[in-house]
Amino acid sequence: MAAGSTKADYGIDAPGVIRNLFVVGIVCVALYRFLPNVTVGGVTFLLSPMFRNTAIGCFAGGVLMLAYSLWMKFGHRDRMLSKVNWRGDERVLDVGTGAGLLLIGAAKKLTTGKATGVDLWSTVDLSGNTRERTLRNAEIEGVKDKVEVLDGDATQMKFADGTFDVVVSNLVIHNIPSREGRDKACREIARVLKTGGVAVISDFIKTRQYQSEFEKAGLKIAPETGMSWATFPPIRVIVAKKELN
């Protein structure tokens, strides 16, 4: 983000994936142009359709992923936050907050409440991912006094049991490489959620696994759970509630 910028910068999601899609697309265009077919043992293999179709698929995927980063994710944030019946005094946790898109959106719903974001600040998952940028975005969006941003690992969060009324997380848990780690992150989300609280978690893969762990931890999956098709890739939103005994 440029110094003195007056517009929040929420970065490009999965920048390496987008770059690689365009690179592969360009390579396939070159192969389509210069290596249309190959003859082996008197048999000709037509490669042009394969290179052409792969190029189209890669370019389309890269453009749609870029569109998600620049436009679609704002609508997705609003859909996630609409799953919560806000009072304004909630304590909110955003797991894997990145540049603060969900964190800041939640903070705007608050009056006396507080929103906390935790992250490991990987630039593989989000371009320019730093705690300082998140705080700057909060300042630009006018909610700096309602948020705190901390270093934190989703698999071992340093919060007491039942600390938060609302826990949110988007496209984060799948980045944990092991099944054990993903399960632990889900259990941690359930642990820090207050009785009567709600977790709104979204991802494009492994969501059935998350749902199973939430249920094992005593959370009830709400009817609002479902797919969001206005994103690329399509994202499933899990709404999990810790009900009163």
Beta-bridge partners for 244: none
For residues 222 and 55, is the Cβ–Cβ distance under 8 A? no
Burial class (CB within 10 angstroms; exposed 0-12, middle 13-18, buried 19+) of 232 = middle
Which residues have a Cβ under 8 Å from the Cβ of 120 and sit 6 or more positions away?
96, 151, 152, 153
CA angle 206, 122, 135 (to 5 degrees): 110
Q: Work out the average pLDDT over 214-230.
A: 94
Q: Is the whole model's pTM more than 0.95, yes or no?
A: no
- The CATH class of 76-241 is alpha beta
Beta-bridge partners for 203: 236
Ranges 30-34, 55-59, 91-95: which has the least confidence: 30-34
Q: What's the pLDDT at 2?
A: 47
Q: What are the sequence ranges of the domains in the chain?
A: 15-74, 76-241
